[in-house]
Chain A
Amino acid sequence: NAGVMQNPRHLVRRRGQEARLRCSPMKGHSHVYWYRQLPEEGLKFMVYLQKENIIDESGMPKERFSAEFPKEGPSILRIQQVVRGDSAAYFCASSISQGKETQYFGPGTRLLVL
């Protein structure tokens, strides 16, 4: 039973480029969460999505960041015109339903902006 998959595991971008991070939830899970981890910090909630719907994007910067979870395919976190401060580890988690259900985390994508 495959866990949460994320790719790429490492991504290097130059300032101004776009970064696309992908997350495939665990089989049977329709709830996806994205978190960001800055160096030596804990994870911070960014966005919560269900299939084709953004439920809560209160933790995501208003500009340059967007997320989607289409009916078919992985969830995508997209960062446009990246800046050095976007360098971080981005984790995706999935759960079978909302709330108290355990969130299972993927291995993360480490983004480095040069």
Chain B
Amino acid sequence: GQQLNQSPQSMFIQEGEDVSMNCTSSSIFNTWLWYKQDPGEGPVLLIALYKAGELTSNGRLTAQFGITRKDSFLNISASIPSDVGIYFCAGQLSSGGSNYKLTFGKGTLLTVNP
């Protein structure tokens, strides 16, 4: 089955620092998604990428869809305490019979020290 390798597993940074995390896949996806999960809550969509090479921003967040369609990264600039949480990448096929299935990475736990 498809697997997503997400790294790093965890990060501990100072407020104001920039953060970068990435996901690689053993197979091609047509859509890459980045979610954030706060403790005790469900994942919330941050950024969706639909095209290889696409670079998309959402405030202080920037994500890119790799050219090979097998990887994606998420950058957070000037981190603040409320950025704390678990960040998940997810891949989705946009065609074929199972295009509704999201395949998730294991997550990156981000801790921001004020």
Which of B55-63, B66-74, B99-107 lies at the interface with chain A?
Answer: B99-107
**Residue B45 at the A interface, CB < 8 A?**
yes
8 Å CB contacts to A: which residues of B25-51?
31, 35, 40-45, 48, 50
For B89, give the chain A residue with the smallest CB separation. Answer: A42
Contact with A along B66-104 (1 / 0, CB 8 A): 000000000000000000000010101010001111111
Contact of A43 with B88 at beta-carbon distance under 8 Å, contacts A100-B99, A105-B42 already known: yes
5 extra interface residue pairs, beta carbon distance < 8 Å, beyond A56-B101, A107-B41 = A31-B100, A42-B90, A100-B99, A102-B48, A108-B40
Contact of A106 with B99 at beta-carbon distance under 8 Å, contacts A42-B107, A100-B50 already known: no
Binding site for B on A (CB under 8 A): 4, 6, 9, 31, 33, 35, 40-45, 48, 55-56, 59, 91, 93, 95, 98-100, 102-108, 110
**Residue B4 at the A interface, CB < 8 A?**
yes
Bound-complex Cα distance A8 to B106 (A): 25
Bound-complex Cα distance A45 to B107 (A): 15
Q: Which residues of B contact A43 (CB under 8 A)?
A: 43, 88, 90, 102, 104
The contact of B94 among A55, A59, A100, by CB within 8 Å, is A100
CB distance from A103 to the nearest CB of B (A): 7
Bound-complex Cα distance A95 to B107 (A): 23
Q: Which residues of A contact B88 (CB under 8 A)?
A: 42-43
Tell which of A35, A43, A44, A56 has the most Cβ of chain B within 10 Å.
A43
Contact of A45 with B4 at beta-carbon distance under 8 Å, contacts A4-B42, A105-B42 already known: no
Bound-complex Cα distance A99 to B90 (A): 14
15 CB-based A-B contacts, threshold 8 Å: A40-B107, A41-B106, A42-B107, A45-B101, A48-B100, A48-B101, A56-B98, A91-B43, A99-B94, A100-B92, A105-B35, A105-B43, A108-B40, A108-B41, A108-B42
